[in-house]
Structure 1
Amino acid sequence: MNYHPASYYLPHQTPMVMVENIHLINEEKCICSVRTHETGILAPFLNEDKLLPNFYAIEIMAQTIGVWNGYHSLLNNKIPSLGMLIGGRAIKTTLPAFPYDSHLMIHANLVLNDSKLANFDCQIFIDQQCVVKGKLNVYEPDESELEDLFGDNRLGEK
């Protein structure tokens, strides 16, 4: 199946889009990818050694979940909305930073979806080796909650 770029499904603006390509979306899984290089979308986040610090892994996994949610929202004729990362468990990484010009494959597997709250088991792979894994809990606020939180200044929305 052909998908739009990941940014199509996310309510973010550049430079805050951190995943690029979509390889699979179904009812229970989303697989996205991004490359760490100086001309790519992650360029603003590379350190002086052209490495991507590993703490960005959480946002990259969360945005893969956002792509999954945005895709399913559009299938149901709804506009993709902001989601919130509310926590993570057992997040482990084998790298202090992602090497320059790494091709990151991000997998988000749905574990639980209960109305506005969901849990995903996530992994990031480089060359088919898992370098990050963890479970992320996410929440999708409704319009009134977003209004209470942000008013008319919803950061990151298109």
Structure 2
Amino acid sequence: MQTEKQFPQIAALVPHAAPMLLLDRVISVDADKLCAQVAIVDDSLFLTGTGTGVGAWVGIEYMAQAIAAWAGYHAQQRGEAVRIGFLLGSRRYDASVPYFATGSTLHVEVEKLLQADNGLGSFACSIRDADSQQQLAQATISVFQPHDTREFLQESPQ
């Protein structure tokens, strides 16, 4: 895997804008995997009312954005534009904690299981505490990235 110094800013890889761009940076990537980092800080979006952390349910979005970063990185490597994709669903999202604690740093790891020519994909995903490497959440995420987003959206039933 390549080291973090060789990566574009996360905003160049994920087609989201603040405040919904939740990941901080890519720390490693190869043909099938990506690891991104997110720090849970006092002003993190979705912080609990008590300030103890971000609800573990947000982990699915962290995973989806890491998949988007993987797709964006590879699109850039091919000289293509970063395109939007769609989260279709998740299987067996399992979190071992109720929230990701304020002050912690997370590693969001995604690994391609399937990527079909029609744009469908499946990724094994996990979230680990960056310091202890304890797994905090895991899921299999299904995604869809159409070849032509505008055409796809125009063809969708209203």
Show CA shifts across 1:58-86 (max 9, x none).
Answer: 00000000000001111112111111010
- In the TM superposition, residue 147 of structure 1 has moved relative to its aligned partner by 3.9
Runs of 4+ in 1 over 2 A off after TM superposition: 146-149
Identity %: 25
- In the TM superposition, residue 8 of structure 1 has moved relative to its aligned partner by 1.3
Q: Give 3-state SS (helix, strand or coil) of 1:138's partner.
A: strand
- In the TM superposition, residue 23 of structure 1 has moved relative to its aligned partner by 1.0
Show CA shifts across 1:80-112 (max 9, x none).
Answer: 111101011111010111111110101001111
RMSD: 1.2
2:136 corresponds to which of 123, 131, 139: 131
- In the TM superposition, residue 148 of structure 1 has moved relative to its aligned partner by 4.4
Q: Distance in 2 between matches of 1:134 and 1:55?
A: 11
Q: Is the 8 A contact 2:47 2:55 kept in 1?
A: yes
The answer to whether 1:92 aligns with 2:99 is no
Show CA shifts across 1:20-50 (max 9, x none).
Answer: 11111111000001100024xxx23212222
Normalising to structure 1: TM-score of the pair? Answer: 0.88
Q: Which runs of 5+ in 2 are unaligned?
A: none
Give the corresponding residue for 1:34.
38
Q: Which runs of 5+ in 1 are unaligned?
A: 150-158
Give the corresponding residue for 2:74.
72
Q: What letter is aligned with 2:68? A: G
Give the corresponding residue for 1:10.
14
Q: Distance in 2 between matches of 1:58 and 1:22?
A: 17
Q: How many residues are matched?
A: 146
Q: Distance in 1 between matches of 2:155 and 2:40?
A: 36
Q: What letter is aligned with 1:56? A: V
